Chain A
Amino acid sequence: MSDMVERTLTALPGLFLQNQLGGPATSRAPFSSRLGGLIRGVTALSSKHEEEKLIQQELSSLKVTVAAPMTTLKMMKECMVRLIYCEMLGYDASFGYIHAIKLAQQGNLLEKRVGYLAVSLFLHENHELLLLLVNTVVKDLQSTNLVEVCMALTVVSQIFPREMIPAVLPLIEDKLQHSKEIIRRKAVLALYKFYLIAPNQVQHIHTKFRKALCDRDVGVMAASLHIYLRMIKENPSGYKDLTGSFVTILKQVVGGKLPVDFNYHSVPAPWLQIQLLRILGLLGKDDRRTSELMYDVLDESLRRAELNHNVTYAILFECVHTIYSIYPKSELLEKAVKCIGKFVLSPKINLKYLGLKALTYVIQQDPSLALQHQITIIECLDHPDPIIKREVK
C-alpha cells in the first residue's frame, strides 16, 4: 500500500510538468493541458477586454464540446474544470450546469468528484436544477463503494434542496452507525447542514446526536459540537445536563489525552478547544451552579496556554471571553485580566487588537479591573492603524 503511495507521489511532479509544457490552447495541444493553456493565455493578456474575448472564445468552444454526443466522460471532466475556471473569473457558464449534474451521475469516481465539485460551485440552494442531483445522491449513498458514499455526503453538506431532505434523511441517519469513522463524521456534518436549513426536520434525531458526542472517534465527536453549539445558542437550558460531559472532554483535550495527530504546533486540538469554550460560555451564562462546574477547567486552560504562538493566544482569547460570559468568579476574572495584559502590551498588532477587544468585555463586567491598562489604552488612541483606533473608542 505504501509503495503505491510512493509511486503516485513520484508521478505527481511529472503530471504537473506535463501541464506546464503544454502549448497555447489550440486544438493540436494535448487535451489535458488545455486548462494550463487557458490559464497561461489569460495571464499573458494585459487588458480586461482581451481577457473577455479569450474567455468568450473558450466558452463557445466548450459549449459545442459539452453538447456533442461524441464527447466522452473523461473529456467532459476536462471541460468542466475549465468551466469552473471561467465562472470563477466572473463569466457565465450556465450552459454547463446540467452537464455537471450528468457528470456526477454517470462518471467514474474521479469524474464524479469533479461533477459534484462543479455542482457545489455553480448552483445555489434554490436553483431548479438542484433537484436533479437528488437521485444521484441517493444512489451514491447506497453504494458499496465507500468513496462514493463520502462524496455524496460531502455534497449534501455543501448544497442540498430543502424540500428533498426527507428523501435522504433515513439514509444519512443510517450512516451514523457506520463502522468507518470518516462516514460517521460526514454523516454528522450532513445533518448539521440540515439543521441549518430546516431545523424542524431533524428534531426527532437529537438522541442520535448525543451518541455522536460520545463517539470513540474524536473527529465524529468534534463534528457533533457544531450542531450542539447551534442548538445551545437557541436553547441553553435544554442542554445544561451535558455541561459535565463538555467539561470532561475539554479537560481531556487540555490535558493532552488526544492522539498526537490532533496537535497543531504542539497545541492539542485548538479548534476543538475553542468550540468547547464557546459552548461552556453559553451554558454558564447567568447560571451560578453550571458555571461552578467549569471554573477548574477554565483555570487549567489559562495556565496551560503558555507557549508563545498565535494559536495559544487564540485559545486564551476565547478562554477570557468565556470567563467573562459566565457567572463571575473573582480569582478567574483577575487572572484573565493579567492575560489580557499580555495581549495589549504586545508589539504585534493583531494581538493588540484582540487585547483591546477583550478589554471591552472586562469593562462591561467590572471597569475597575481595566484600570491597570489605562495608560496602554490611551496610547492606542494615537495608533496609526485605524482598526486599532476604532476598537479603543
Chain B
Amino acid sequence: MMRFMLLFSRQGKLRLQKWYLATSDKEWKTMVVLAHKPKMCSFLEWRDLKVVCKRYASLYFCCAIEGQDNELITLELIHRYVELLDKYFGSTCELDIIFNFEKVSFILDEVLMGGDVQDTSGKSVLKAIKQADLLQEEVESPHSVLGEMGLA
C-alpha cells in the first residue's frame, strides 16, 4: 500500500502531496538530496519504507511504499500517472502541474484510492475527469449535459 506521493521540483519546492496514511512527521526533505543521484537505483530506503523516485524533466515524483510492495510496478504506476496527465493536458509541462494542482489531484484520486491502485482502464479515468470538467462549461444548463451523458 502506498503511504504517500510527492511531487517536487529540482530545488525541492513541493508541487503536489498526497498522504494516504496520516503521518505526523513529514521530514521528506532529506529524500530530495538522495533523489538527486541519476545513475543510482531508483529505489531508496527511508525509515521503514521504500521510496520509489522517478524524474521527469525538472519534476521528481516520489512514492513511498511498504516493505512487501513491488517497487518496479510502482515505478510503472508513476509512469502511468504521467501518461494520463499528458493525455489530459495535452503534452504536460511542469507549469501545467503547478498551476492546476487541484486538477492534478483529482486525476491522482481516480488512479490511486486510499493508497492502492485502481486498475481501471486509462480511458475510464480520463472519462470520469472530463465529465466533471464539462460541468464547468455548461453551468447554465446542467440537466442537458447530464442527460446526454446518461447520468441524470
Contacts and interface: CB of A to CB of B under 8 A. Distances in A.
A219 B40 contact: no
A150 interface: yes
A145 B152 contact: yes
Nearest to B89: A12
Interface in B133-152: 133-139, 142, 145-146, 148-149, 151-152
B58 to A, nearest CB: 12
A350 B44 CA distance: 11
A369 B73 CA distance: 26
B137 A11 contact: yes
Contacts of B142: 109
B36 interface: no
Given A108-B139, A387-B40, A219 B124 contact: yes
Nearest to A143: B152
A113 interface: yes
A223 B41 contact: no
Contact of A125 (B22, B45, B106, B136): B22
B43 A147 contact: no
B114 A158 contact: yes
A192 interface: yes
Contact of B13 (A43, A124, A218): A43
Interface of A: 1, 4-5, 7-9, 11-13, 16, 19-20, 35-36, 39, 43, 81, 84-85, 88-89, 108-110, 113-114, 117, 121, 124-125, 144-147, 150, 154, 157-158, 180, 182, 185, 189, 192-193, 196, 218-219, 222-223, 226, 259, 261-262, 264, 269-272, 274-275, 310-311, 313-315, 317-318, 349-351, 353-354, 385, 387-388
B119 A271 contact: yes
Contacts of A20: 95, 99
Contacts of A109: 132, 135, 142
A272 B116 CA distance: 11
Nearest to A146: B151
B135 A193 contact: no
B99 A16 contact: yes
A259 B99 CA distance: 35
A146 B152 contact: yes
19 contacts: A4-B134, A84-B102, A88-B14, A117-B106, A121-B105, A144-B152, A147-B131, A147-B135, A154-B109, A154-B113, A180-B151, A192-B113, A218-B119, A219-B124, A222-B118, A269-B119, A314-B72, A317-B72, A387-B45
Given A124-B22, A222-B120, A271-B73, A147 B96 contact: no
Contacts of A121: 17, 105
Contacts of B14: 88-89
- Top 10 A-B residue pairs of the complex, sorted by shortest distance between their CB atoms: A261-B121, A314-B72, A314-B73, A271-B119, A219-B120, A146-B151, A261-B123, A124-B22, A222-B119, A387-B41
Interface in B69-124: 70-73, 75-77, 80, 89-90, 95-96, 98-102, 105-106, 109, 113-114, 116-124
A114 B135 CA distance: 14
Interface of B: 13-14, 16-17, 22, 39-45, 70-73, 75-77, 80, 89-90, 95-96, 98-102, 105-106, 109, 113-114, 116-124, 128, 130-139, 142, 145-146, 148-149, 151-152
Given A158-B109, A222-B120, A19 B41 contact: no
Contacts of B118: 185, 189, 219, 222-223
A117 B76 contact: no
B40 A117 contact: no
A351 B72 CA distance: 8
Given A85-B101, A88-B17, A113-B106, A147 B146 contact: yes
B97 to A, nearest CB: 11
Given A145-B146, A264-B80, A314-B72, 9 more contacts: A8-B133, A9-B90, A109-B132, A125-B22, A154-B113, A185-B118, A219-B118, A264-B76, A318-B73
B74 to A, nearest CB: 9
A11 B121 CA distance: 26
Given A147-B146, A314-B73, A350 B42 contact: yes
Contacts of A313: 72
Contacts of A182: 124, 128
B76 A114 contact: no
Contacts of B134: 4-5, 8
